[in-house]
């Protein structure tokens, strides 16, 4: 968001594990518009980001926390084993206490 608006973002990215991130200055990002394939790449990236965030919002509105946890267990079991429970609870949009109850039912 900040790269498009030119204003600082109120959010920050924090990783729970060693990660590789891409950092590109706003001027270089906008310079992609002047390249042959840049506009198409930017459009595809924006579309994928939009679809991902829309699905996340839909899941938060339509699935129970237990269903979201079951999906996470099915698709990212290694992540579930490595990430502290309080962070998983936050990702699922529930309290650590609720997450603990859901985990006990699943076990």
Find the domain containing 72 and state its range: 64-107
pLDDT at 2 over 90: no
- Are 39 and 75 members of one domain? no
- pLDDT of residue 35 exceeding 80, the answer is yes
Q: How far apart are the first and last CA of the chain?
A: 40
Query: Do both 26 and 71 map to the same domain?
Result: no
55-63's contacts with Cβ under 8 Å and 24+ in sequence apart are 60/93
Same structural domain for residues 51 and 68?
no
Do 91 and 105 fall into the same domain? Answer: yes
Q: Count the domains in the chain.
A: 2
- 99 with 80, same domain: the answer is yes
Can you tell me the distance from the alpha carbon of 50 to that of 14, in angstroms, rounded to the nearest whole number?
21
pTM of the model: 0.72
pLDDT above 90 for 4: no
Nearest to 68 by CA among 23, 105, 99, 26: 99
């Amino acid at each position: 968001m900040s790269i498009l608006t030119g204003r600082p973002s109120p959010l920050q990215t924090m990783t729970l594990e060693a990660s590789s991130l891409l950092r590109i200055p706003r001027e270089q990002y906008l310079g992609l518009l002047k390249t042959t394939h840049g506009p198409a790449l930017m459009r595809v990236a924006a579309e994928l980001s939009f679809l991902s965030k829309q699905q996340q919002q839909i899941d938060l509105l339509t699935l129970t926390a237990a269903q979201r946890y079951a999906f996470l267990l099915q698709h990212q079991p290694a992540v579930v084993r490595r990430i502290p429970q309080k962070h998983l609870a936050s990702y699922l949009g529930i309290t650590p206490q609720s997450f603990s109850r859901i985990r006990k039912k699943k076990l």
